[in-house]
Chains A and B, each alone.
Chain A
């Protein structure tokens, strides 16, 4: 591998260089990169390949029998099981709800704190706090807030007494069973936690818009709405899109939050695909082979989305 070279005095020729034996660029390169690469290969690449192999077997981790090759039957089972499709659909609905709301709210927050005012720096930092908390912890205390008996949520809705009111996590709306309510509840929490992320990205985009664009518009008598539509929005759009892509990928991987709040219930209303994967692999009969296949399907979806994300990122970088 060619290394960068410098014209002029070679280091060895100078007194400092002669005083000690120095490492060549080539060896530094190797020294710096290989430990990282090796670790990554060992802990990421190798397990991935191993997982690929497992997906073609019917291995069960609890047993001591060696894995038996079953070809594509795991994949077949997954694709033909309606429940699996249901979980994917649930995850999709969740991602749509959550990312959609996050984007709007995050954008709104950015517009609010965009111009400096007294305390705006503090406020921006404070808004970051939800993002910084462990999702499972977030899930736990929102579980408390959603509690139908003593939770704050019900209190605000004006119905705090035992048995009455809304039990979000059991999908009961004033006693009526309303399926899907739990998923909405989880989505709300996700929005709460990640809108600040969108806000940050949008904010950096907003701050990058040169003021003279707005000055020119002011002189041309453009109304605030006109300025928003024609200057602000187009300039911020790329960043917004990045945020959306990123959060969508994360929504598909969503695991911690659900585990903290509902564990997949009630029934399977919040059984996101990552949660189900966990269940198949680590609970019950430890269906390692089967779950590896499922994992791979999820992986492929995410790789496709990430590819889009990275390509778009490079495009932006290219234009910038």
Chain B
């Protein structure tokens, strides 16, 4: 059982906020990803949970009990470091046994646990080797084994795949997720890679500049980003965001493009814009479709072939480029004028001043 609660947890360095007061509940067995660019506070938050960093304010609770000031080893959490933190002078077996030895466990019990764990991660053949001789992926497996062997209530992982190459990252991703499922373990995972977060997380906590931008499932965060940052950060490429003015039921953008706002959005948009008319129109590349009778027009600037699909860079006016997904057959030479339409179910709007998303339904 491991429910972790963060209540107004914050970290300041002098006057600088590394993490602004943050509330978060991580449920038992959940895989929560802290996602954001470097310096956003995600690692600091993770370290505060583990005790490697002391909080400046707020409380941390494990299963309802306060652990804010407990020794890192008394929180029943295991930490997986980005650079593995393996002891180079000890063998793999000794590395894995280390935490149990430190606790003073008996020899036979240690051996038993090590054997279990080693089979789960399929590294039995590496037991006698030293970490220095292993490939990155194997080293990370040893680090995972060392965390696993303690049978902790929660796993904390700090960009564990950051030091691996792309291909390995993908396979390790699946391994870690499977491990999580098999162990029913609560996991808090830090990464800057949004693909990783989307693939692995039950819920994602998007952070930027020491603040939480949005907490939600991958679907939530992808289809209903709560602000401009999340809209841009999630998805590759991120959401297209075009400035415009809302009047007469439509959004006019530079270059005389005019987009009819779907009926469901008319009132929410009018309400939230508060009398002003500046608005930001947002749509994902796959929400746009090239069609001769589309309401938006532009010129093809570049074409990215992705094998299964193509991403068109379309210049809609004065250098404002949007990305449109298209199927493989349609490759356009540079400069071709095209028209496209935006799926009314997938279009989103943002308030340029507050950067927040406009909600389609009234706030509940």
A216 touches B85 (CB 8 A): yes
Q: How far is the CB of A215 from chain B (nearest CB, A)?
A: 5
Closest chain A residue, CB of each to CB of B150: A220
Number of contact residues on A: which range applies? 10 to 19
- A283 in contact (CB, < 8 A): no
B87 touches A219 (CB 8 A): no
Cβ contacts under 8 Å, B78 to chain A: 219
B77 touches A230 (CB 8 A): no
How many angstroms between the C-alpha atoms of A220 and B83 in the bound complex? 17
- B99 in contact (CB, < 8 A): yes
B85 touches A215 (CB 8 A): yes
Q: How far is the CB of A229 from chain B (nearest CB, A)?
A: 11
**Known pairs A213-B87, A215-B81, A219-B79; A230 contacts B73 (CB<8 A):** no
B71-105: CB near A (< 8 Å → 1, else 0) gives 11110011101010101011000000011001100
Cβ contacts under 8 Å, A235 to chain B: 89
Q: Which of B74, B83, B89, B102 contacts A217 (CB 8 A)?
A: B102
A210 touches B102 (CB 8 A): no
Query: Per DSSP, are chain A's interface residues mostly helix, strand or loop, or mixed?
Result: helix
Number of contact residues on B: which range applies? 20 to 34
- B120 in contact (CB, < 8 A): no
- B195 in contact (CB, < 8 A): no
B73 touches A212 (CB 8 A): no
A230 touches B99 (CB 8 A): no
A210 touches B79 (CB 8 A): no
List 24 A-B pairs, Cβ < 8 Å.
Answer: A210-B83, A210-B85, A212-B81, A212-B83, A212-B85, A213-B85, A213-B87, A215-B79, A217-B102, A218-B72, A218-B73, A219-B72, A219-B73, A219-B77, A219-B79, A220-B99, A220-B103, A221-B99, A222-B98, A222-B99, A222-B102, A223-B102, A226-B102, A234-B89
Q: Which residues of B contact A (CB under 8 A)?
A: 50-52, 71-74, 77-79, 81, 83, 85, 87, 89-90, 98-99, 102-103, 146, 150
Q: Which residues of A contact B (CB under 8 A)?
A: 210, 212-213, 215-223, 226, 230-231, 234-235
Known: A220-B150, A221-B73, A222-B99. 14 other contacts (CB 8 A): A212-B85, A213-B85, A216-B81, A216-B85, A219-B50, A219-B52, A219-B78, A219-B79, A220-B102, A221-B71, A221-B103, A230-B90, A230-B98, A234-B87
